[in-house]
Amino acid sequence: MSEQNKVDAVVVGAGFSGLYLLHLLRKNGFSTRVFERGDDVGGTWYWNRYPGARCDVESMQYSYSFDEELQQEWRWPEKYSSQPEILAYLQHVAERFDLRKDITLETAVTSAHYDEAAKRWDIETDTGEQVSAQFFIMATGCISTANMPNIPNIDGFTGNIYHTGNWPHEKIDFTGQRVAVIGTGSSAIQSIPVIAAEAAHLTVFQRTPHWTVPARNVPMTDEYERSWKDDYAEKRANMRGSMSGSLRAVAPIDVSALDVTDEEREEAYRERWAAGGMTLLRSYNDLLTSNEANETAASWVRQRIKATVNDPKTAELLAPKTYPLGTKRLCLDTDYYETYNRDNVDLVDIASAPIDRLTATGLETGGRTYEFDSIVLATGFDAMTGTLLRVDIQGRGGLTLKEKWHAGPRTYLGLMTEGFPNLFTITGPGSPSVKSNMLTSIEQHAEWVTDALIRLRDQNIASMEAERAAEDDWTDHVQEVADQTLFPKANSWYMGANIPGKPRLFMPYLGGVGAYRERCDEIAAAGYEGFRLEGSEADAAAAE
């Protein structure tokens, strides 16, 4: 096997996680290869190019913090960056840190089998390449496998059909077209106003209304940029120690929503609605733990919907009623509700009558046939585990990750799983991941894993593996924390509930980014408590 094919680490994915890992591992002397299935770097921001795609975490916070010059020099044009802007940033990072030479594009890892005797991973790609690596790191993101809905005759539609998570690279021009959007999650809520402005007619098919609040995106001002850049060190430190990995525009009020007067609540919700962003969800300390408290905010938002949407029937359909505010991922929008006041936009409820089938020229539902030129599937992702389980990963004794996780993912800290030594998952299930600012969590994971690898090398340790007891305790802890909240009440992708047959359990860790980081650091400081560390077979034989 050539030197190029025998490396210290293989990383899968060249998005935010993979790029930073490559930088860190190489800097610390680990030979590393990154495989990326896209034909460029960018991960999520390479694939999700749908109209209106934009990050709903502020750019000053949704950016790398590891390089002071980079964070000072890079200029974000808007408060919330659009997909092309974020992709350009990632391409810049790849060039700036000379990362491309170790990234193999248009190449998906198809299998990774652990060789117990050699304590190494044998990895294969869809281009037939075979690589041996001591460490195998899945940096594949949490929402990277598109969910294709099982609508009958989906291949029978002869018009254009797109999935938001796998959007063509050329501009799609909907001018003059009759367009359908299926789904009303974050991707739909961002794309609907943009498509509506272009298309002759847009019909939105909604199964469940999602909660959305205004983003209030604005051009970046010099003053705002300076307020971050002048104080980045402290602000980033506060982000790392915070609950969500980001700082809120308006501070949370640390009392119950039920312990204030109606007027105070009205004032608090109004202020946060005006400020925009996720901040409304943290107005009071029990909005995500008490049904009654949550309902005060939920009914307030329903009133906003009614006040915005002219047609009462449409407004009623758009108002979520079946799950608490924020327990499916809260969406951030620009003129979402206003879009339903346009003459060329209709909303069709498919909760009461599902889509029966696609036809060659449209779709049938509720006894009616609709004709379209283009259909946009905004139907989400097989989140958190879908991409990990798509790869044939076999650990000790030939156990597959699919078998191991048949009843749901089991991890220690979301970083490792027992039976799969030297396999790390970046922002894996059981870590704060999607319940945090991904950038804060990605940097923490990449740094923790790199530190662990350095320690293993320094101490001549060949393999690291989660212990069963530690994994069981952590997996139980993740569920216990989730069960103290309202999150399990929603049929969300956090719960795996959007994918037929997927085990239903809450996958991200809700204990908070700061507390989680502390726990990871304590565990490392205690000599990787809960992990089994083993020398090589050769060392063991020599010691006998």
- Tokens linked to 505: 């359990």
**Minimum distance between the CB of residue 439 and ligand N01, rounded to whole angstroms?**
12
408 binds ligand N01 (CB under 6 A): no
Residue nearest ligand N01 by beta-carbon distance: 185
Residue 1, SS3?
coil
From 68-76, 176-184, 339-347, 407-415, give the range in contact with ligand N01 by CB under 6 A. Answer: 176-184
Please, which of residues 415-434 interact with ligand N01 by CB under 6 A?
434
Work out whether 400 is an interface residue with ligand N01 (CB under 6 A).
no
> Does residue 87 belong to the site contacting ligand N01 (CB under 6 A)?
no
- Is there binding between residue 380 and ligand N01 (CB under 6 A)? yes
* Cβ atoms within 10 Å of 274's Cβ, excluding its own: 11
Give the Å distances, CA to CA, from 45 to 21, 219, 530.
17, 20, 35
Give the nearest distance from C-beta 396 to ligand N01 in angstroms.
Answer: 33
Distance CA 287, CA 299 (A): 12
Stretch binding ligand N01 (CB under 6 A), from 178-186, 283-291, 294-302, 389-397: 178-186
Task: Could you list the beta-strand ranges (E) of 14-145.
Answer: 32-35, 103-104, 109-115, 120-125, 130-138
SS3 532: strand
Tell me which of 59, 190, 212, 327 binds ligand N01, using CB under 6 A. Answer: 190
Taking the complex as a whole, the smallest distance from the CB of residue 314 to ligand N01 amounts, in Å, to 16
Q: Does 281 bind ligand N01 (CB under 6 A)?
A: no
Instruction: Decide if residue 498 touches ligand N01 (CB under 6 A).
Output: yes
**Closest by alpha carbon to 384, among 498, 493, 245?**
493
Q: How far is CA 26 from the centre of its chain?
A: 26
Could you tell me the CA-to-CA distances from 456 to 17, 240, 402, 506, 543 in Å, in that order?
21, 25, 28, 32, 18
Under the binding rule (CB under 6 A), the answer on residue 317 touching ligand N01 is no
The dihedral region occupied by 160, where left means phi > 0, alpha psi between -120 and 50, and beta the remainder, is: beta
Question: Measured from the CB of residue 341, what is the shortest distance to ligand N01 in angstroms?
Answer: 21
Contact between 183 and ligand N01 per CB under 6 A: yes
The stretch among 2-10, 22-30, 97-105, 184-192 that binds ligand N01 (CB under 6 A) is 184-192
Asked if 82 interacts with ligand N01 (CB under 6 A), we say no
Cβ neighbors of 369 (< 8 A, separation 6 or more) are 359, 362, 363
Q: How far is the CB of 57 from ligand N01 (least distance, A)?
A: 7
Query: By CB under 6 A, is residue 378 in contact with ligand N01?
Result: yes
Q: Looking at 107, 186, 417, 425, which residue binds ligand N01 (CB under 6 A)?
A: 186
Q: Does 493 bind ligand N01 (CB under 6 A)?
A: yes
Q: Does 395 bind ligand N01 (CB under 6 A)?
A: no
Least distance in Å: CB of 319 to ligand N01? 14
- Phi/psi class of residue 366: alpha, beta or left (left: φ > 0; alpha: ψ in -120 to 50)? left
If phi over 0 gives left and psi between -120 and 50 gives alpha, with beta otherwise, what is residue 57? beta
Selected range binding ligand N01 among 4-12, 281-289, 377-385, 533-541, rule: CB under 6 A: 377-385
Task: State yes or no: residue 379 binds ligand N01 (CB under 6 A).
Answer: yes
> Closest CB to ligand N01 among 339 and 498?
498
Distant-in-sequence, close-in-space partners of 217: CB < 8 Å, separation ≥ 6: 54, 78, 79, 80, 276, 334
Alpha-carbon torsion 404, 405, 407, 408, what sign?
Answer: positive
Contacting range for ligand N01; rule: CB under 6 A; set: 13-21, 31-39, 110-118, 374-382? 374-382
What residues line the site for ligand N01 (CB under 6 A)?
54-56, 143, 149, 151, 164, 182-188, 190, 207-208, 329, 332, 350, 378-381, 434, 493, 498
